[in-house]
């Protein structure tokens, strides 16, 4: 018998894919056959000549799967789907794809859309999909502010008895104890059990240098010796003396500035916290700076955009950071083991030895 669960979220980029990777790997280690299905993929990108959903591709690869795991790819404007879609036909295709993916599996993790409301106009909102193929729902809530409680209660109104479990993700500081002591009590009184509270982790929110260069479309003028994870962004718009104090307060950072700021670049290359430099406006620094970067093994990426445009793009890259690579996969698995009630999740799934 296959046990399926919908991993849904209140908003986009809440950590659904990361949690599925962690849950999947943990259960695989225990001998379970795991499946993964993304019914509605809304963020297509062109990669190696094919249109793919990066989240679905990365998640499937991390779980050792090479088959197509997407039900419907949003490969044209959404309004076109709304005007032409036949919901019953779409649901039929989703059911067929799920049957194919679930064959021979003990557990199938069904990843919800961008948020639990997306896709409703064509009959592919998370509620409809859950009722169709995954009647148990786990809601992932990224903690931005205290109004998350209201949002969770609203989601319970939508899913009803299907939604019993919640994970609160990416909390910082004192909010950890607050969520456990206060928010959990309110949520649980509404019939939802908080399986765990996961703290914010800079490494998981970070980006590999290689991904940064690829997504910026830049050129390495100093290539990396190893693919480092960048956790913070520093904008080089200050004086060298101010920069030194700031650089010492960050960890594993990328500095973005113009290639003509040789004074600032000298300071950046004197501290261990700057792990990568992005130079804007196609302005290369002097040869002494390049030699210094090579000696320090600090990769330097050259881009054509101005600093403001490149900064906006880097911030977006950080916002969409994915669990790529073994380091990140191990980190999220460790966080889940330390902060999530795995045995309760297994009971919720209906696994025999839970």
- Quote the number of domains for the chain: 2
352 versus 106: the higher-pLDDT residue is 106
For the domain that residue 37 is a member of, what is the CATH number? 3.40.50.300
Residue 36 has a pLDDT of 98
Looking at the chain, the number of H-run helices and the number of E-run strands are 15, 16
Cross-strand partners of 38 = 70
Q: Residue 242 pLDDT more than 50?
A: yes
Residue 27 has a pLDDT of 97
Q: Residue 103 pLDDT more than 60?
A: yes
Residue 104 has a pLDDT of 95
Residue 168 included in any domain: yes
Do both 127 and 193 map to the same domain? yes
Do both 228 and 158 map to the same domain? no
Mean pLDDT score, 333-350? 96
Rg (alpha carbons) of the chain, rounded to whole number: 22
Q: Residue 352 pLDDT more than 70?
A: no
Do both 313 and 336 map to the same domain? no
Q: What is the pLDDT of residues 269-291, one digit of tens each?
A: 999 999 999 999 999 999 999 99
pTM score, whole prediction? 0.88
Q: Residue 353 pLDDT more than 60?
A: no
Residue 121 included in any domain: yes
CA 140 to chain centroid = 12
Q: Would you tell me how many other CB atoms lie within 10 Å of the CB of residue 176?
A: 17
Q: Residue 46 pLDDT more than 80?
A: no
Residue 354 has a pLDDT of 42
For the domain that residue 298 is a member of, what is the CATH number? 3.40.1390.20
Q: Residue 295 pLDDT more than 80?
A: yes
221 membership: H or E segment, kind and range: strand 219-222
Residue 334 included in any domain: yes
Q: What is the pLDDT of residues 309-331, one digit of tens each?
A: 999 999 999 988 889 889 999 99
Do both 278 and 327 map to the same domain? no
Q: Which domain holds residue 295?
A: 207-319
Mean pLDDT score, 68-85? 88
Do both 315 and 327 map to the same domain? no
Say if residues 206 and 321 touch (Cβ distance below 8 Å).
yes
Q: What is the pLDDT of residues 106-148, one digit of tens each?
A: 999 999 999 999 999 998 999 999 999 999 999 999 988 888 8
Determine whether 68 is exposed, middle or buried from the number of CB atoms within 10 Å of its CB (0-12, 13-18, 19+). middle
Do both 101 and 113 map to the same domain? yes
Residue 157 included in any domain: yes
Mean pLDDT score, 336-351? 95
Mean pLDDT score, 40-45? 86
Do both 245 and 272 map to the same domain? yes
Do both 197 and 335 map to the same domain? yes
Do both 64 and 197 map to the same domain? yes
User: Mean pLDDT for the chain?
Assistant: 92
Do both 147 and 262 map to the same domain? no
Residue 354 included in any domain: no
Residue 151 included in any domain: yes
Mean pLDDT score, 240-262? 89
- Which of 44-48, 146-150, 249-253, 333-337 has the largest mean confidence? 333-337
Q: What is the DSSP letter of 77?
A: -
Q: What is the pLDDT of residues 182-219, one digit of tens each?
A: 777 888 899 999 999 999 898 999 999 999 999 999 99
Do both 151 and 7 map to the same domain? yes
229 versus 239: the higher-pLDDT residue is 229
Residue 181 has a pLDDT of 73
Do both 26 and 162 map to the same domain? yes
Q: What is the pLDDT of residues 256-271, one digit of tens each?
A: 999 889 999 999 999 9
Q: What is the DSSP letter of 340?
A: B
Residue 6 has a pLDDT of 98
Separation CA 294–CA 132 (nearest Å) = 56
């Amino acid at each position: 018998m296959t046990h399926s669960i919908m991993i849904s979220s209140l908003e986009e980029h809440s950590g659904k894919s990361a949690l599925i990777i962690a849950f999947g790997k943990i259960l695989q280690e225990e001998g379970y056959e795991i499946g993964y299905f993304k019914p509605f993929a809304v963020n297509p990108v062109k990669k190696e000549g094919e249109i793919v959903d990066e989240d679905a591709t990365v998640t499937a690869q991390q779980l050792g799967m090479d088959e197509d795991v997407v039900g419907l790819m949003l490969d044209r404007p959404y309004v076109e789907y709304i005007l032409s879609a036949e919901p019953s036909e779409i649901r039929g295709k989703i059911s067929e794809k799920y049957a194919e993916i679930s064959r021979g599996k003990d557990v199938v993790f069904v990843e919800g859309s961008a948020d639990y409301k997306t896709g409703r106009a064509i009959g592919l909102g998370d509620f409809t999909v859950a009722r169709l193929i995954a009647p148990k729902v786990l809601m992932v809530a990224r903690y931005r502010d205290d109004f998350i409680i209201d949002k969770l209660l609203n989601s319970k109104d939508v899913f009803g008895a299907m939604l019993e479990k919640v994970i609160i993700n990416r909390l910082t500081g004192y909010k950890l104890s607050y969520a456990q002591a206060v928010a959990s009590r309110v949520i649980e009184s509404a019939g939802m059990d908080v399986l765990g509270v996961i703290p914010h982790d800079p490494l998981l929110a970070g980006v590999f240098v290689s991904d940064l260069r690829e997504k910026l479309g830049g050129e390495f003028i100093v290539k990396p010796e190893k693919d480092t994870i960048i956790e913070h962004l520093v904008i080089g718009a200050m004086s060298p003396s101010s920069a030194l104090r700031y650089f010492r307060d960050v960890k594993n950072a990328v500095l973005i500035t113009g290639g003509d700021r040789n004074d600032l670049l000298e300071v950046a290359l004197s501290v261990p916290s700057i792990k990568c430099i992005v130079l804007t406006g196609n302005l290369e620094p002097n040869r002494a700076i390049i030699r210094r970067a090579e000696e320090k093994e600090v990769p330097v990426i050259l881009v054509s955009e101005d600093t403001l445009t490149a900064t906006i793009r880097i911030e977006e890259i950080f916002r969409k950071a994915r669990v790529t690579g073994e380091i990140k996969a191990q980190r999220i698995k460790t966080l889940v083991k330390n902060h999530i009630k795995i045995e309760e999740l297994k009971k919720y799934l209906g696994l025999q030895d839970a």
